[in-house]
């Protein structure tokens, strides 16, 4: 069996895995991509998923055509007859088969760990509670303008394993990394690691907020002095966690700081380094609205400095990058009512950032599947920011209990009913904001499915 010590002692990558037996648990995108990658490297691969719906059966058929073994509807002990297990990020760590694997001493690794073994390009990895997707797409935009081959992947959509063979030493791999993907790394080592911020999230999966933070900080645990760590110096917890990091530190924040990195002086983005300070541009020149996007842009600046991206490309990217779908995305403005799709706001902190981005009266659409959030704690801020809240989905009852008599509330069972209610109650000048604070899995496949559905509903009812 493969061991952590063996992996850490590999002197040269990629490793020779031919003949090894790999079990993959979870047939989502990352599991399928890992199976294909490991099969191409000579592994005997078994992929298992506890579900057996039609889409999985179609994926299974495609993998079987590649001589990959498949098991649907269960996780049998066949999975334990292997040299290592790859756990898909959506699979909880405490399911029975994984507990058995740990008891048997079988190594469990993540898909990003496996893909990193075969990646020839430098890796830029971004994690944090909020801002990850916008930041990685913005970094991708920067390198695209630098005429350098770049792949944006990871938690953002395309699995890391699906693109490693397309990249060489002159390319760049830009990864959005979730805490789930960091749970089973061994030697995963980004050339540049960035941590945007911390706020309570996924508390349904972690024993405590501290455990969640520690998992996020694994992104830089294997770095050395040749690498760089970018972090938000305005986040006290984060600043304390990076003190022992071995990579070169670049910090960012909306303050006047002489620390190496980026700050804000007299409303101007300023780069600080040992040589001195350089003014980049006025904050108002950034194309994206909101203080949170200013911080996201500061991460892009730090990456550009460390990776020596052309200054012209950096300035163009800061001024012209248009953002990402489902994050403060303008759907339409009809009869003076502005509809905003912020479906990617799956936690409280992300939604509160969205609320801060508007001065107009707000009707908030919130709900979905609760992730263990403390809704009661934000009632005063919510009341100060919104005209009313329309609740939908599984979390509607929990939100209503937390906010009743403190915030003006309406209930709707589904997102469609919430959109109908919003359309009826809005006045000219209002903003109707879908910023759910919850996961989407009660009614939708993912936040993208929810956001796309919202946009279709706005077309139907928003006029």
> Which residues does the chain have with pLDDT short of 70?
none
Alpha helix stretches (DSSP H) within 341-403: 348-355, 379-385, 396-403
pLDDT at 141: 97
pLDDT at 457: 97
Q: Which domain-ending residue is among 257, 291, 320?
A: 320
Same domain? For 434 and 340 the reply is yes
Tell me, yes or no, whether 3 lies in a domain.
no
- Name the domain count of the chain: 3
DSSP letter string over 398-417?
Answer: HHHHHHTTTS-EEE-SSHHH
Chain segment 166-215, per-residue pLDDT in tens:
999 999 999 999 999 999 999 999 999 999 998 877 777 788 989 999 99
Same domain? For 96 and 118 the reply is no
Same domain? For 313 and 440 the reply is no
Token readout for 374 is 């403390």
Same domain? For 302 and 349 the reply is no
Same domain? For 173 and 262 the reply is yes
Same domain? For 225 and 289 the reply is yes
| Residue in the structure block whose two tokens are 């490309």 | 313
Q: Which domain-ending residue is among 267, 286, 320?
A: 320
- Indicate the pTM of the whole model: 0.84
Same domain? For 26 and 141 the reply is no
- Rounded alpha-carbon distances, angstroms, from residue 255 to 242, 264, 363, 390: 19, 5, 32, 36
154: which residues sit within 8 A by CB, 6+ positions away? 112, 125, 136, 160, 175, 176, 177, 181
Nearest partner of 422 among 434, 438, 413, judged by Cα: 434
pLDDT at 273: 84
Token readout for 289 is 């609205």
- Rounded alpha-carbon distances, angstroms, from residue 380 to 366, 390, 397, 407: 16, 17, 18, 8
Tell me, yes or no, whether 122 lies in a domain.
yes
Q: Are 320 and 383 in contact (CB under 8 A)?
A: no
pLDDT at 436: 97
Same domain? For 60 and 187 the reply is no
Tell me, yes or no, whether 8 lies in a domain.
no
Q: What CATH number does residue 188 fall under?
A: 3.40.1190.10
pLDDT at 258: 86
DSSP letter string over 282-304?
Answer: EGGGSSS-SHHHHHHHHHHHHHH
pLDDT at 139: 98
Tell me, yes or no, whether 335 lies in a domain.
yes
Tell me, yes or no, whether 202 lies in a domain.
yes
Nearest partner of 249 among 240, 241, 261, judged by Cα: 261
Same domain? For 162 and 309 the reply is yes
Distance CA 325, CA 323 (A): 7
Detail the DSSP E strand segments found in 26-149. Answer: 44-49, 69-72, 84-87, 108-110, 123-127
Task: Write the DSSP symbol of residue 338.
Answer: E
Distance CA 429, CA 172 (A): 44
Tell me, yes or no, whether 78 lies in a domain.
yes
Tell how strand 150-154 and strand 172-176 pair up: parallel
311: which residues sit within 8 A by CB, 6+ positions away? 304
Q: What CATH number does residue 392 fall under?
A: 3.90.190.20
Tell me, yes or no, whether 2 lies in a domain.
no
Same domain? For 135 and 99 the reply is no
Structural domain containing residue 94 = 14-106
Q: What CATH number does residue 66 fall under?
A: 3.40.50.720
Same domain? For 367 and 445 the reply is yes
Same domain? For 364 and 387 the reply is yes
Task: Write the DSSP symbol of residue 201.
Answer: -
Strand 172-176's sheet: what is its strand order?
150-154, 172-176, 123-127, 192-195, 228-232, 248-252, 261-265, 268-273, 276-282
Tell me, yes or no, whether 312 lies in a domain.
yes
Q: Which domain-ending residue is among 56, 78, 106?
A: 106
């Amino acid at each position: 069996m493969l061991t952590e010590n063996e992996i850490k002692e590999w002197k040269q990558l990629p490793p020779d895995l031919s003949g090894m037996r790999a079990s993959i648990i979870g047939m989502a995108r990352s599991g399928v991509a890992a199976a294909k990658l490991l099969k191409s490297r000579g592994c005997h691969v078994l992929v298992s998923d506890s579900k057996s719906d039609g889409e999985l059966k179609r994926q299974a058929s495609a993998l079987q055509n590649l001589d990959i073994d498949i098991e649907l509807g269960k996780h049998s002990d066949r999975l334990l007859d292997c040299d290592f297990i790859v756990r898909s990020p959506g699979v909880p760590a405490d399911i029975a088969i994984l507990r058995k694997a740990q008891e048997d001493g079988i190594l469990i690794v993540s898909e990003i760990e496996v893909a990193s073994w075969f990646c020839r390009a430098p890796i830029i990895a971004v994690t944090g509670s909020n801002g990850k997707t916008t930041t990685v797409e913005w970094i991708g935009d920067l390198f695209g303008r630098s005429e350098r081959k770049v792949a944006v992947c990871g938690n953002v959509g395309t699995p890391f394993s699906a693109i490693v063979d397309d990249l060489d030493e002159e390319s760049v791999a830009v990864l959005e990394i979730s805490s789930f993907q960091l749970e089973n790394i061994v030697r995963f080592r980004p050339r540049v690691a960035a941590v945007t911020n911390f706020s309570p999230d996924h508390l349904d999966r972690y024993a405590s907020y501290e455990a969640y933070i520690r998992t996020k900080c694994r992104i830089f645990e294997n770095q050395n002095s040749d690498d760089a760590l970018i972090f938000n110096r305005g986040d006290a917890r984060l600043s304390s966690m990076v003190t022992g990091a071995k990579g070169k530190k670049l910090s960012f924040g909306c303050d006047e700081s002489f620390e190496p990195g980026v700050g804000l002086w007299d409303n101007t983005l300023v780069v600080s380094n040992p040589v001195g300070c350089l003014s980049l541009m006025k904050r108002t020149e950034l194309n994206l609205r909101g203080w949170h996007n200013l911080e996201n842009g500061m991460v892009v600046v730090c990456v550009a400095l460390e990776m020596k991206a052309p200054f012209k490309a950096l300035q163009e990217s800061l001024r012209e990058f248009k953002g990402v779908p489902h994050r403060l995305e303008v759907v339409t403005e009809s009869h003076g009512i502005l509809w905003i799709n912020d479906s990617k706001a799956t936690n409280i902190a992300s939604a509160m950032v969205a609320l801060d981005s508007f001065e107009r009266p707000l009707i908030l659409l919130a709900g979905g599947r609760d992730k263990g959030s403390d809704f009661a704690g934000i009632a005063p801020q919510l009341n100060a920011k919104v005209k009313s809240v329309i609740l939908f989905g599984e979390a509607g009852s929990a939100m209503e209990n937390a906010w009743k008599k403190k915030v003006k509330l309406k209930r709707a069972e589904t997102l469609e009913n919430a959109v109908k209610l919003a359309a009826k109650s809005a006045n000219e000048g209002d903003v109707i904001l879908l910023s759910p604070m919850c996961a989407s899995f009660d009614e939708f496949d993912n936040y993208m499915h929810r956001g796309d559905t919202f946009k279709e509903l706005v077309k139907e009812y928003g006029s």
